[in-house]
Copies of this chain bind each other. A is one copy, B any other.
Amino acid sequence: MRDAVRRATLAELGECGYAGLTVENIAERSGVHKTTVYRRWGNVEGLISDALELATDEPWPVPDTGSIKGDLRGIVQLVRTGFDDPELGPVSSAFVAAAMQNPDAARALHEFFVARHEQSAEVVRRAVARGELPDIIDVREVIRVAVAPVYYRLFVAHEPVTEQDADRAADAALAAARAGVL
């Protein structure tokens, strides 16, 4: 049942966004009775948080290209293409919007990014082990600095993000890591 409700939440988020989300529509789409949905999830924010909690546990395809430059570019391109994806993009954007308006969703999204940073930082740890980067490095901060310009363009400055923009963001984080400021 949890999985059906979660899939319905993601589908509704993708179609209607956070602003258009209702417990009734999710219940109907999932085939679960709405009183059950209300009892177990409380409200749309509870449904969003639960969907994010499941997403947090999912591994994502962290690149392993053999070089930190290729790996960081791969990570930033994954973020960019994810938001470009016609199915995944609107759902991911809806999570960001929901978290801006609701503290429960914000906590769930925070946990999602803690997990995401931790998984992605593996490429930095490997680079340190290979001697590509100095070892006194905040491995998670390299990931934050690499992906931040993509999110900034999408959700703050509302600018398009080209493939080149994404590569440049990755290269900037790498230059900072090499310079020892991260």
Which A residues lie at the B interface, using CB under 8 A?
17-19, 93, 96-97, 99-101, 106-107, 109-110, 113-114, 117, 141, 144-145, 147-149, 151-153, 155-159, 168-169, 171-176, 178-179, 181-182
State the CA gap A96–B181 with chains docked (Å).
Answer: 29
Give the distance to chain B from A33, nearest Cβ to Cβ, in Å: 29
Kindly provide the distance from the CB of A114 to the nearest chain B CB, expressed in whole angstroms: 8
Given contacts A113-B159, A117-B157, A176-B176, 13 further A-B contacts (CB under 8 A): A96-B155, A99-B158, A106-B158, A144-B149, A144-B157, A145-B149, A145-B169, A148-B148, A151-B155, A152-B152, A168-B182, A171-B176, A179-B179
Question: Could you list 26 A-B pairs, sorted by A, with CB under 8 Å?
Answer: A17-B101, A18-B101, A19-B101, A97-B101, A100-B100, A107-B158, A109-B156, A113-B156, A141-B168, A144-B152, A144-B157, A145-B145, A145-B148, A147-B152, A148-B148, A148-B169, A151-B151, A151-B155, A151-B156, A155-B156, A171-B176, A172-B181, A172-B182, A175-B178, A175-B179, A175-B181
User: Given A151-B152, A171-B181, A173-B172: A157 and B100 within 8 A (CB)?
Assistant: no
Chain B residue with minimal CB distance to A18?
A: B101
How many protomers of this protein does the assembly include?
A: 2
* Contact A155 B100, beta carbon cutoff 8 Å: yes
Contacts of A109 in B (CB 8 A): 156-158
Contacting residues, chain B, for A19 (C-beta < 8 A): 101
B96 A100 Cβ-Cβ under 8 A: yes
